[in-house]
Amino acid sequence: MKFIELTKERHSVRSYTARPVEQEKLDYILECARLAPSAVNKQPWKFMVVQSPEGKSKICQCYAREWMAEAPLYIIVCAVADEAWTRRYDGKNHADIDAAIATEHICLAAADQGLGTCWVCNFDTTLIRQLFPFEPDTYPVAIIPIGYPDETDRPEAKRKPMDEIVTYL
């Protein structure tokens, strides 16, 4: 698949079948996350794969949506602030940026494997820390449900026109 086709194929999936995700596909997705670039190659990330019934129930407490419960598994993408590169000019810690790149690798790799995903950031940040084992310097950036899409139609991806977002200087 050409990259433009893959970017069009990836979209937020909010309806999943019960079909389990094959371990080879999960391995492929995690490998694509592992290979993501990061500032000064610090790789300040951890990935929690949640697929046990107990773990899934905890995820659905943190982000209580009916469609979320359908997904057969989730990856919690975590940033490790103390491992990340910090820019000396303004002290900006790049953990979030690095974790976001890895997250999008996960979403694109899943789409490449015929799987659906959805970035989820609107979760209960206090509860997730209580329910999952985070080190003090590690925090969740996104929860990504992964599964086979159960979609009859797909909403059109609305994007701003090119002339609104690009400036040639």
Ligand X SMILES: Cc1cc2nc3c(=O)[nH]c(=O)nc-3n(C[C@H](O)[C@H](O)[C@H](O)COP(=O)(O)O)c2cc1C
Name, in order, each residue with C-beta under 8 angstroms of 51's C-beta and a sequence gap of 6 or more: 72, 73, 74
| Min CB(157)–ligand X separation in Å | 4
**64 is a contact residue toward ligand X (CB under 6 A):** no
Distance between CA 124 and CA 61 in Å, rounded? 8
**7 is a contact residue toward ligand X (CB under 6 A):** no
**12 is a contact residue toward ligand X (CB under 6 A):** yes
Which lies closer to ligand X via its Cβ, residue 40 or residue 157?
Answer: 157
| Min CB(58)–ligand X separation in Å | 17
Task: Tell me the backbone φ, ψ of residue 157, rounded to 5 degrees.
Answer: -80, 115
Nearest Cα residue to 63 out of 126, 149, 135: 126
- Provide the b/e sequence for 62-83 (b: ≥16 CB within 10 Å): bbeeeebebbbbbbbbbbbeeb
| Min CB(122)–ligand X separation in Å | 3
Residues 113-142 that bind ligand X (CB under 6 A): 118-122
| Min CB(63)–ligand X separation in Å | 7
Type of residue numbered 146: I
Q: Which residues bind ligand X (CB under 6 A)?
A: 11-12, 118-122, 157
